[in-house]
């Protein structure tokens, strides 16, 4: 089952959740960046193990804090590998994205 949980947030925005799960463990791999409609770059990463809106909010909050990130869109696949689309002004350093996802409690993983 795929749930489209779009949490789009700009720089400085705070994503919140509230399922009370206490933090789901999990894992996220990047596809090459593609030009975004707004003149930026959209890159899709896989994040495995997210199960709910709280998980999505945690990942979104860490990613929007990265310099240059203008939007984050998540297609949640509960218990599977979710697609996380990140729009940024310029291509992001993969290690910075990995660190942000790790801070949320997940790892970069290959998309199916």
Report the alpha-carbon angle 49-17-58, nearest 5: 50
Domain locations in the chain as residue ranges? 3-11+26-109
The model scores a pTM over 0.75 = no
Question: Residue 89 and residue 70: Cα distance in Å, rounded?
Answer: 7
Question: Residue 61 and residue 74: Cα distance in Å, rounded?
Answer: 12
Q: pLDDT tens-digit profile of 22-31? A: 444 333 333 4
Higher pLDDT residue, 4 or 107?
107
Phi-psi sector, 68: left (phi>0), alpha (psi -120 to 50), beta: left
Is the CATH number of domain 3-11+26-109 3.30.70.100? Answer: yes
């Amino acid at each position: 089952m795929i749930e489209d949980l779009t949490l789009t947030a700009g720089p400085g925005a705070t994503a919140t959740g509230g399922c009370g799960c206490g933090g789901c463990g999990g894992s996220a791999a990047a596809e090459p960046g593609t030009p975004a409609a707004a003149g930026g770059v959209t890159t899709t990463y896989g994040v495995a193990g997210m199960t709910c809106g709280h998980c999505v909010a945690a990942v979104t909050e860490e990613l929007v804090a990265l310099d240059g990130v203008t939007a984050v869109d998540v297609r949640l696949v509960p218990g599977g590998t979710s697609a996380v689309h990140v729009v940024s002004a310029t291509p992001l350093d993969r290690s910075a994205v990995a660190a942000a996802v790790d801070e949320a409690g997940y790892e970069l993983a290959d998309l199916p």
